């Protein structure tokens, strides 16, 4: 295990990072000695780290090397119940705290996250496999922004929802996935706390370390015990949380399959529910678009975070007249994507998050080939250890192909064509999902025309995968319901008997 202080003594050739640190390019714990890891992590209950009643721990590993990072407690139903009780107790005083006081805690958490940004970025990259350039520039700052943004609302709830007396719901059970571990935690905790609720959060079992480190930040910020509790474990722990007595709401982000199961569990219990589930987003490129910029947007849309993004632009629809030119440009651009060591700041695509996810990507790509689509992968040397997949493009894809219908959740893009705007809309909406979409065109009127007709919660215009805490995010159809972010997201954590829904 690395010790603090060894960093200064180590000879290094890596360039300085913008925020003042530096590290060697070897993805080993020794090279990340500014992140000190405990051998094992307890559950965060009532303001303290405690042993699980199960006595069991599970390993979390670095997907880029397969190396075990730490052991993490497995919470059983007893631990989950204790967490809910702690959150209920904390709710009594937290809800009565003036909004200005709750805001103060949230601001403090946001500032501490930024102060410890490098540590969080490295830890997230280690535990998740995503490139440090992304954790540094997207995940961590955006997580802090969520706390800043919601701190701003905490004392203005009556102004956001005029004509109503906004009341918090109570204890919220929050279950998050592995693809944006810290960001999802912030995205869920910040609005809940701003609205006066208390939280029991369950991170994903394959990437729990940044949520646990966030608990250290909560302690540092002096957040009252029980306001946020974190129970780690796999699906069984999540299921125990959903079943727990005393919840006012469940907020879930994850697979459509588990989302449906949670919906069944919650039905009839008078519990609020928001579900943010899978996606199969259409990314439309019209012939009048700025094609080089569109190529960049398409690359960001599908290869960011190795395509482990529920709103990834995974179905590219290109107007027939520019299809060949666009695909040629895209292939040239894909050949420049650097895949490898996630701790190297020049890396564009890191490791696939798990063996299970890699197996799914492999199986669906095999199905794509078998069904007759043409596969392109640029020459690319992948590391020997860990889980890897090159950027992948399928052309000649029919709507009926599995790769065009099923969420792959990997760096795999399918391409089809359309002739008219109507056909583009028809194809884009031909999916059971409805989370996001993108459109590239030079015509403002067409953007509005398309956006009105796309069945998607988020529509990006001449950009893709841009996130802002002020913008509501959420889906239609099998992508779930409820919004997170913005006033709409805040509303989902409040009881507002008489208030109109914000526009
Ligand atoms: P993914 O396929 O992306 O791993 P999952 O939906 O399986 O998505 O997981 C998302 C989160 O839901 C994780 O924290 C996971 O542990 C949790 N989870 C899995 N199964 C259940 C379940 N039956 N009930 C509640 N939570 C679950």
Where along the chain do its domains lie? 74-277+481-495, 282-470
CA–CA separation, 251 vs 274, rounded Å?
A: 5
Q: Ligand 1 pocket, 238 CB below 6 A?
A: yes
Of 453, 458, 462, the closest CA to residue 472 belongs to: 458
Cβ–Cβ < 8 Å for 409, 352: no
Q: What is the pLDDT of residue 163?
A: 84
Positive or negative, the Cα torsion across 193, 195, 200, 202?
negative
Please name the residue ranges forming H helices in 244-354. 256-266, 291-303, 323-334
- What's the confidence (pLDDT) of residue 413? 98
Q: What pLDDT score was predicted for residue 497?
A: 75
- Catalytic residue list contains 310: yes
Q: What percent of the chain has pLDDT over 90?
A: 89
pLDDT at position 501, please?
A: 58
Q: Is 204 in the pocket of ligand 1 (CB under 6 A)?
A: yes
* Residue 450 in contact with ligand 1 by CB distance below 6 A: no
Residue 416 backbone dihedrals phi, psi, to 5 degrees: -130, 175
Distance 372 CA to ligand 1 centre (A): 33
CA distance 128 to 353: 6
pTM of the model: 0.92
- The string of pLDDT tens digits covering residues 223-232 is 999 999 999 9
Exactly one of 74, 276, 406, 407 is catalytic; name it. Answer: 276
Cα 176 to ligand 1 centre (Å) = 7
Active site residue: 134, 205, 310, 406, which one? Answer: 310
**Maximum Cα–Cα distance for the chain, whole Å?**
64
User: Best substitution site from 175, 243, 273, 308 to test ligand 1's pocket, by max atoms within 8 Å of Cβ?
Assistant: 175
Q: Return d(Cα 299, Cα 173) in angstroms, integer.
A: 35
d(CA 311, CA 241): 26
Nearest residue by C-alpha to atom 18 in ligand 1: 235
The reported pLDDT for the residue numbered 22 is 32
276 is catalytic: yes
Residue 296, both tokens = 């960049």
Distance from C-alpha of 348 to C-alpha of 338, rounded to nearest angstrom: 5
Q: For ligand 1, atom 13, which residue shows the shortest CA distance?
A: 204
Q: Judge if the beta carbon of residue 230 lies within 6 A of ligand 1.
A: no
Is the CB of residue 297 below 6 angstroms from any atom belonging to ligand 1? no
Pocket of ligand 1, candidates 75, 77, 177: which has the most ligand atoms within 8 Å of its Cβ, to mutate? 177
Q: What is the pLDDT tens value at each position of the chain, 503 positions in all?
A: 333 333 333 333 333 333 223 333 333 444 454 689 999 999 999 999 999 999 999 999 999 999 999 999 999 999 999 999 999 999 999 999 999 999 999 999 999 999 999 999 999 999 999 999 999 999 999 999 999 999 999 999 988 888 888 999 999 999 999 999 999 999 999 999 999 999 999 999 999 999 999 999 999 999 999 999 999 999 999 999 999 999 999 999 999 999 999 999 999 999 999 999 999 999 999 999 999 999 999 999 999 999 999 999 999 999 999 999 999 999 999 999 999 999 999 999 999 999 999 999 999 999 999 999 999 999 989 999 999 999 999 999 999 999 999 999 999 999 999 999 999 999 999 999 999 999 999 999 999 999 999 999 999 999 999 999 999 999 999 999 999 999 999 999 999 876 555 55
Q: Other CB atoms closer than 10 Å to residue 38's CB: what's the count?
A: 13
62 close to ligand 1 (CB < 6 Angstrom): no
CA-closest residue to ligand 1 atom 21: 235
Ligand 1 site, residue 234, Cβ cutoff 6 A: yes
CA of 262 to the centre of ligand 1 (A): 10
Binding site membership of 205 for ligand 1 (Cβ less than 6 Å): yes
Taking the C-alpha atoms of residue 470 and residue 146, their distance in angstroms, rounded to an integer, is 9
Give the distance (Å) from ligand 1 centre to CA of residue 254: 6
Give the C-alpha separation, 275 to 271, whole Å. 13
Q: Whose CA is nearest to atom 20 of ligand 1?
A: 235
Instruction: Using the mean position of ligand 1's atoms as its centre, give its distance from the Cα of residue 258 in Å.
Output: 6
- The CA 169 to ligand 1 mean position distance, Å, reads 24
CATH architecture for residues 74-277+481-495: 3-Layer(aba) Sandwich (3.40)
258 lines ligand 1 (CB under 6 A): yes
Whether 102 and 194 have beta carbons less than 8 Å apart is answered as yes
Rounded to the nearest whole angstrom, what is the distance from the C-alpha of residue 259 to the centroid of ligand 1? Answer: 8
pLDDT tens readout for residues 346-400 = 999 999 999 999 999 999 999 999 999 999 999 989 999 999 999 999 999 999 9
DSSP letters for 208-271: -HHHHHHHHHHHHTTPPTTSEEE---SHHHHHHHHH-TT-SEEEEES-HHHHHHHHHHHTTTT-
- CATH classification number, 282-470, choose in 3.30.420.40, 3.40.309.10, 3.90.1150.10, 3.40.50.1820: 3.40.309.10
């Amino acid at each position: 295990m690395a010790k603090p202080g060894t960093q200064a003594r180590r000879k290094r050739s890596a360039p300085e990072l913008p925020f003042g640190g530096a590290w060697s390019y070897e993805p080993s714990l020794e090279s990340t000695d500014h992140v000190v890891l405990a051998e094992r992590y307890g559950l965060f209950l009532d303001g303290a780290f405690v042993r699980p009643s199960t006595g069991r721990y599970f390993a979390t590993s670095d997907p880029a090397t397969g190396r075990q990072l730490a052991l993490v407690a497995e919470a059983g139903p007893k631990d989950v119940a204790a967490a809910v009780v702690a959150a209920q107790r904390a709710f009594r005083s937290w809800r009565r705290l003036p909004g200005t006081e709750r805001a103060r805690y949230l601001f403090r958490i946001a500032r501490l996250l930024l102060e410890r940004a490098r540590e969080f970025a490295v830890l997230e990259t280690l535990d998740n496999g995503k490139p440090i350039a992304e954790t540094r520039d997207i995940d961590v700052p955006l997580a802090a922004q969520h706390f800043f943004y919601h701190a701003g609302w905490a004392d203005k709830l009556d102004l956001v929802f005029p004509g109503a007396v906004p009341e918090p719901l109570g204890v919220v059970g929050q279950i998050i996935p592995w693809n944006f571990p810290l960001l999802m935690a912030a995205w869920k905790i910040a609005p809940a706390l701003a609205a006066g609720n208390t939280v029991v959060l369950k991170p994903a079992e394959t990437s729990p370390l940044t949520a646990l480190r966030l608990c250290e930040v909560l302690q540092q910020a002096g957040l009252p015990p029980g306001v946020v509790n974190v129970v780690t474990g796999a699906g069984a722990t999540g299921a125990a949380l959903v079943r727990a007595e005393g919840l006012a709401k469940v907020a879930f982000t994850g697979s459509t399959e588990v989302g449906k199961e949670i919906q069944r569990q919650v039905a009839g219990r008078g519990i609020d529910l928001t579900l943010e589930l899978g996606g199969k987003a259409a990314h439309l490129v019209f012939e009048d678009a700025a094609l080089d910029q569109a190529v960049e947007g398409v690359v960001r849309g599908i290869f960011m975070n190795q395509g482990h993004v529920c709103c990834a632009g995974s179905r590219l629809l290109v107007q027939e007249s520019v299809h060949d030119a666009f695909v040629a440009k895209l292939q040239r651009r894909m050949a420049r994507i650097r895949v490898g060591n996630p701790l190297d700041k020049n890396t564009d695509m890191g490791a696939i998050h798990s063996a299970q996810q890699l197996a799914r990507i492999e199986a669906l790509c095999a199905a794509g080939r078998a069904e007759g689509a043409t596969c392109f992968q640029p020459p690319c040397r992948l590391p020997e250890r860990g889980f890897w997949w090159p950027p992948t493009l399928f052309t000649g894809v029919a709507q009926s192909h599995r790769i065009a219908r099923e969420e792959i959740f990997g760096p795999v893009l399918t391409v089809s064509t359309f002739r008219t705007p109507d056909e583009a809309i028809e194809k884009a909406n031909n999916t059971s999902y409805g989370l996001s979409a993108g459109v590239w065109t030079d015509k403002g009127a067409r953007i509005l025309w398309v956006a009105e007709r796309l069945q998607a919660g988020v529509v990006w215009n001449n950009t893709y995968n841009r996130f802002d805490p002020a913008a509501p995010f959420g889906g239609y159809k099998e992508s779930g319901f409820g919004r997170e972010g913005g006033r709409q997201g805040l509303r989902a954590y409040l009881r507002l008997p008489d208030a109109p829904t914000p526009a």
